[in-house]
Each structure stands twice: as structure tokens, then as C-alpha cells.
Structure 1
């Protein structure tokens, strides 16, 4: 048996028969001529998976960008960019038109993905800019609500005259107990939260709370990040502007998903393959 890959075995089988074949016929030809020895429970499925992952026109999430095969109108497979044996001029022209349409579709999908990514980036920036325009006390209440939608309970915003460096507090259920948590919110446009702000917040909550959460619409300096988690000290979770926006999107808080556009992939042969396997087990 020559040492070769599943891909090479498939191509060898197609060349041996010199005509397009179904996935099962390709598998039978591979076995008949000992092109490859499978060590899997369902070797026909290995062949089908290889064909579809590397087939022109089949671009689902787990498909490969490298294409080695083409699928014909009757559902059989042949080698990519190799003339189909016995194919008429009309059929060849039809297949060429299908390939051209596929390439155009790929360009359209790529452009849509780029537009979608651009929209997301602009959308996130727009939300972040809105957050930066909030009044400081409004941002504190916003932080409280964000923690509530994330699962925190009994959240309260402290009064300005007696907050002691703590803007709010509440509880987070961990297993059968509750973690006492305090938060601080800094609605800053351009300032960077530095080490001293984190140290001050930690000093305010040490011995009273088991965890601190620091919100800012700006960013954190490296030294602030370095001391946020320290052995023997209350851990401080740092959440910056982009992270706030990501949480809003994840929890759909202040964000509405207008529409989801499904993309359909032909999986008809897989369905038949599963049905055959099911019947074998009866």
C-alpha cells in the first residue's frame, strides 16, 4: 500500500475510475485498490468529510480555505480544475458558470463580512462615546445596573456624603454562599486609571468586602493592572470602556439585535449518510 493521505487516496480513486463518483463510491474504490487504510469507526464518513471540507462551493464555518474537489449537479465529486471526463461542451460551460457564480458569491460574502466588522467597530465606539458623556452619578447607576444584569444581587449605590470611596456594593452568589462585592466607577474621557486609584479603592474595601470591581470608560496603566490581583489582598477586577461595551452586547443590555440572517449550506448527502447508518443499527 503506498503511503499517502486521504486527499491523495481520493484523487487516486477518481483518476483510477476516470469519472465523477459519489462519496460512497470513492470510498469503495479506495478500499478495493488499497489506496488507504482507515483506522476510524466510520471510514466512509472520513471520506465524505474530506470531500466537503475541501470542495469548491461549500463554505461552512469548519470548511477549509484550500479546495481540492468540485461537486457536480448530480451530487458526484471530481477533481478541482480538471476537465470532467466525457462532459459535453454545454455541461462544461454550465459548470464554469457555476464556478464563476461561486467566486462572485465568495466576494460578496467577504465584502459583507468586512462591512459587518466595520459596523461592529463603529457601533462599539459609538456606545463608548455615549458612556463617556454620562454624568458621573448616572454612570454609577449604570454600573450598578450592569452588575445586576450580570447576576449580582442586592446592588445599591452609596450616598455621596458617606460613600468612603465606594460607589456601590452588593452580592454575588458563588455556590452555596454569597461574595460581598463593592464597586467604584470613573466616568473619564481620556484619563488613565493609575496604581494610586486602585490602591485607594482597595484600602476603602479591605476587611469589608471580598472583592472589588473598578469600572472606567477610559483605560488602566500597566502598574494599575499589575497590582489589581495580589496575594493576601482583596482582588480588584478591572473593567475598561471596551469591556463594558462587550458586556452590554453579551447581555443585550442597552443593545437590540435587529435581525439574524441565516446562511444555508447543502448537507443533503450527510443526511442520507446518517440515515444509512441509522438503518444499519436497526
Structure 2
């Protein structure tokens, strides 16, 4: 059937409106196969990793998939977005993603710009050192050592160690943990500092086994939350409900065992959900 000009204009307007809706950064309802953009890390083994064959794996990835499913999205509808530590708040505020699951520690400073659901995991800051390092690591003595430390720009670990434990350390901040790991292996730095969950994932990788070890420090409690747009209380509740269900039906523990078990990492039980509006 041939459309007259007024009808054609109206039809075009409808198509453009639908296209704009479908291309929205975060995505809306998944009931009709619409896409949802979710932020994760691409370089954290055991948590959020993009493999060489283009697959996405890790505990955070499994949590994100479970939450997306409870929101009505099939796995095929997920568009994974890399969420570097220093860009997470901007990605959420700009609508580039619906939510972020990326070892995202809940802090008061971050809550000024974004809201969180959860927490869904509790980690502790530690040091990763070379396996042949015979130093005695004690958090009360870190300032007595001439340390070259590495962490990632925008992470709470970098701020925490510099402000509280090793003010005199030479702290180098790189864009990604892989760069820190290379520096540690090449002896350009003495230790990589971040959450023990992240460090355990790196140490457990096949190519790294036997090269590194955790120092055994517990410098902080890091409660991982799912970051979302500030003021979106409906989404916050939906995600919290999904996380509670994941724990209740055993999926949380199954995912934790799958990804942390090979590293012999003694992870904490699922934490109580506290981020509610």
C-alpha cells in the first residue's frame, strides 16, 4: 500500500522514536528482546574477563547475568561495556550503561554521584608480591619500607594505601591491573595492591601460577555494590531483590566456588544487603 505524504511523515516519526528508544544507552525492558548495556571489567580474571575468543567470564559476570535475567533480559540481549575504575561514575551518569558490576566498592564519595544496590561481595585489600619474596609483610610496618607499589587509577585501593598505610611509598597508578602485573613480574615494582579477590584471580591464572603470592594483609573491607543512576529507586529495589534471590537459591555460592575455588581463595559469605532507599 502506498502512503500519502502526511501518513509517510507520521510513520517516519514513529520509526525514529522507536529507534531512539531502542538505542538508549542503558536499555529499558527486556520483554521484547531489547538490549541492555552492563558495565564490567574486561581484565580481571575470576571476576570480569574478556577472553581471547570474545567470551565474558567471572563472578561479576555471573552476578550481572543473573540480575539481568531477573529484570527480564536474556543473556543474548546483554551488551557488555568495559568499565575502567576511573570512568564508572561517568558511564552511569551519562546513561552509557544500565548498571555496573565491576568490583565497585561502595563509598560515600561515590554515592554523591551514583546509587548502589547490594552489596553482593565483601573483599579485603591486600598485596600481591613475587613468589620468591621473603619479606615480612605487616601493615603496621609498611611505612618503614622503601616500597614501589602499583595500583589502578581511580581505585579505592590506591587512595587507601597512600592515605593510611604507606604514605611514603612510591605509588604508581596505571590504567589496568595487567600493566601492574607486568611491572611486578619485571621487578619494576615491589607489590601490586588491590582487593584480595582480584589478586587471587591473577595469581590463579595458568600463566601466572607459581610466580606470585598474596602477602596476607587485610588493609580494608571492600563491599562491592552494583552501581546505578542516582535516584533510580525502582531499579535499586529490583536489583536488590535479584541479589537476595541469587543467594537464596544457591546460585551465588555456586558462582563463587566456580571462580574463586581454583585460586584457593577463602572468600567471605554473601553480605547483608544494606543499600536501600
TM-score of the aligned structures, taking structure 1 as reference length? 0.21
Q: Bigger radius of gyration, 1 or 2?
A: 1
The structure where helix makes up a greater share of residues is 1
The structure where strand makes up a greater share of residues is 2
